[in-house]
Amino acid sequence: MTRSSNLEAEPLFISACYCKPTSRTPVWIMRQAGRYLPEYRKIRSQVDFLTLTKTPDLAAEVTLQPIRRFDLDAAILFSDIMTPVEGMGVGMEFNPGPIVSEPIRTASQIDALRVPDADENVPFVAETIKIIRQELPSTIPLIGFAGAPFTLFTYLVEGQGSKTFSQARSFLFSEPELSLRILEKLTDVMIQYLRTQAQAGAQALMIFDSWAGLLSVEDYRAFAYPSVCRIIKSLGHLDIPLIYFPNQGASLLGTVKDCGADVVGIDWRTSLSAAREVLGSEVAVQGNLDPMALFSSKKDLGSKIDNVLKQGGSGPGHIFNLGHGIDRMTDPDRVAFLVERVRERSQAYML
Ligand code: 1CP
C-alpha cells in the first residue's frame, strides 16, 4: 500500500512502521514497564501481578511510568500475553512467569477451552487503554499486543516457561491434530482480543512469538506461521501498523517476509542489515540491541547503539528497540542514556 508522507501530523513511530522517511529513528523498549523501575516495584509490593493487569487505573499508571521517565516514542499496554488465555478457562498464577494449573494435553481439555468475546473475557483491557489514551500525549502512540498462538500453545501445554519446551514440542509431534485444534482456538481468541484493543484506542498492534525459534522452518510453516497470517489478515482492515516479533527467528525470516506484517521485530542474534536483505525494503524492522549490552560501560554501550543504528539506518523503516525484553537488573540510567543517544545520533546514520 502506498502511503503519503505526513510527517507533521503523524507520530514518528507510526511513520517508521510504514517505512516512511522520518527526521530521526523512533525508540521504545520491550518490557519498558517492569521490575527494573523502582516505581514499578513499589506498586508491585502492594498488589500481585494478575491484580495489577486487571485493575485499569494501576495498569494504566504502570504503562505510563516509563513514558514519564524517558523520552520514548511509543507506550505499550501493561498486560501479559497470557491475560486473554485465562478467560478461555485456563487457571494460572504468575511466579514470576505464567504457571498453568492444569497443562492442556487431552482432547477433552481442548474441547473445554472457551472462545469468549473479548468484551466479556477482558473488559479491563479496553478500560485500561481508554485511561492510557486520555493521559498519553497525542504524539506518543500506544501499542496493544498479544502472544502469537504458537507461543501461547507452548505455555498451555508445557504448563510453564522452559528453555526447550520439550513437553510442548513432543505434544506437537505426537498429537498434531490436537495441537492444531488448540492453535485454531487461540487464533480465534487473539483476533478478537487484538481487534478490541484497536477499537479501544491502541494505535499499533504487536504479536509476540517469543518461542517461534524453537521450530525448524518446516514445522514453523506447519504449526506457527498459518495462525500468524490469519491474525494479520483479519486485522488488515483496521489500518494501523502490525508488528510481528519471531524471537530467535533468523532462519524463519524468508517465510516471515510474506506474513503481511508492516514491521518485523529482530532479536540481537541477527544483524538488522542481514534481516533487511531477506525482508526487502517494504517491511520495517524493529530492534535489536542485546538487552545485556545495557550492562556495558557507557562508552561501549554508545558504540553498540551506534552499530545498531548503522545496521538499521540504511533506509527508512527502522524502530530502535532491544532484541528482547529488558533485564530486571538493568540500571534505569542506562536506559536514559540509550534513549538520548538514539535521539542524538540516529540522523547521522540515515541515508
Ligand atoms: O513479577 C512481576 O512483576 C511480573 C513480571 C512480568 C511483567 C512485568 C511478567 C510475567 N509479565 C510482565 C509484563 C509483560 N509481559 C509485558 C508488558 C509490557 C511492556 O512493558 O513491555 C509484555 C509485553 C509481556 C509479554 C510476555 N509475557 C511475553 C512476550 C514477550 C517476551 O518477553 O518474549 C512472554 C513470553 C510472557 C510470559 C511471561 N510473563 C511474565 C514472565 C516473567 C514471562 C516469561 C516467563 C518464562 O518464559 O519463563
Work out the pLDDT band at 119, boundaries 50, 70, 90: confident
- Ligand 1: centre distance to CA 98 (Å): 9
Taking the centre of ligand 1 as the mean of its atom positions, its distance from the CA of residue 290, in whole angstroms, is 17
Residue whose CA lies nearest to ligand 1 atom number 43:
97
Instruction: Examine the residue annotation and report whether 36 is marked as an active-site residue of this protein.
Output: no
Supply the pLDDT for residue 67: 98
Ligand 1 center to residue 82 CA distance, Å?
9
Mutating to test ligand 1, I would choose from 80, 94, 288 the residue with most ligand atoms within 8 A of its C-beta, which is: 80
**Which is it for strands 98-100 and 92-94: parallel, antiparallel or unpaired?**
antiparallel
The class (CATH top level) of 7-350 is alpha beta
- Can you give the pLDDT at residue 9? 79
pLDDT at 314: 64
pLDDT in tens, 148-160: 999 999 999 999 9
pLDDT score at 104? 98
Q: Could you tell me the pLDDT band of residue 351, with boundaries at 50, 70 and 90?
A: low
Residue type, 306: D
155 labelled catalytic: yes
Does the annotation count 341 as an active-site position? no
What is the structure's pLDDT at 313?
76
Examine the pLDDT at 8 and tell me if it is beyond 70: no
Rounded distance, CA 45 to CA 40, Å? 9
Does the structure show a pLDDT above 80 at 5? no
Distance from C-alpha of 338 to C-alpha of 288, rounded to nearest angstrom: 12
- What is the pLDDT of the chain when averaged over all its residues? 95
C-beta 164 within 6 A of ligand 1:
no
Residue 114 pLDDT more than 70?
yes
- pLDDT tens, residue by residue, 235-269: 999 999 999 999 999 999 999 999 999 999 999 99
Distance (angstroms) between ligand 1 centre and the Cα of 80 equals 6
Nearest to residue 33, comparing CAs of 88, 87, 77, 89? Answer: 77
7 falls in which pLDDT band (50, 70, 90)?
A: very low
User: In this predicted structure, what is the pLDDT of residue 250?
Assistant: 97
Catalytic residue, from 35, 181, 269, 334: name it. Answer: 35
Question: What is residue 1's predicted lDDT score, i.e. its pLDDT?
Answer: 41
**Whether the CB of 213 sits within 6 Å of ligand 1:** no
Report the pLDDT value the prediction gives residue 4, as an integer from 0 to 100.
47
Distance of CA 321 to the CA centre of its chain: 11
**5 Cβ contact list (under 8 Å, min separation 6):** 15, 20, 21
Encode pLDDT of 302-342 as tens digits.
999 999 999 997 679 999 999 999 999 999 999 999 999 99
Atom of ligand 1 nearest to the CA of 52: 3
The string of pLDDT tens digits covering residues 18-73 is 999 999 999 999 999 999 999 999 999 999 999 999 999 999 999 999 999 999 99
Q: Which residue has the cell 507510526?
A: 14
Q: Which of 18, 36, 40, 155 is catalytic?
A: 155
Q: Which atom of ligand 1 is nearest to the CA of 34?
A: 8
Identified catalytic residue from 18, 40, 73, 80: 80
Rounded Cα gap, residues 118 and 263, in angstroms: 25
Residue 105 clears pLDDT 80, i.e. is over it: yes
Asked whether 93 lines ligand 1 (CB < 6 A), one says no
Share of the chain above pLDDT 70, in %: 97
- Residue bearing the CA closest to ligand 1, atom 24: 80
Which residue, by CA, sits nearest to atom 8 of ligand 1?
34
Pairwise CA distance, residues 159 & 286, whole Å: 30
Q: Is 98 in the pocket of ligand 1 (CB under 6 A)?
A: yes
Is 181 marked active-site? no
Q: Once rounded to an integer, what is the mean pLDDT over residues 79-97?
A: 96
Q: Is the CB of 96 under 6 A from ligand 1?
A: yes
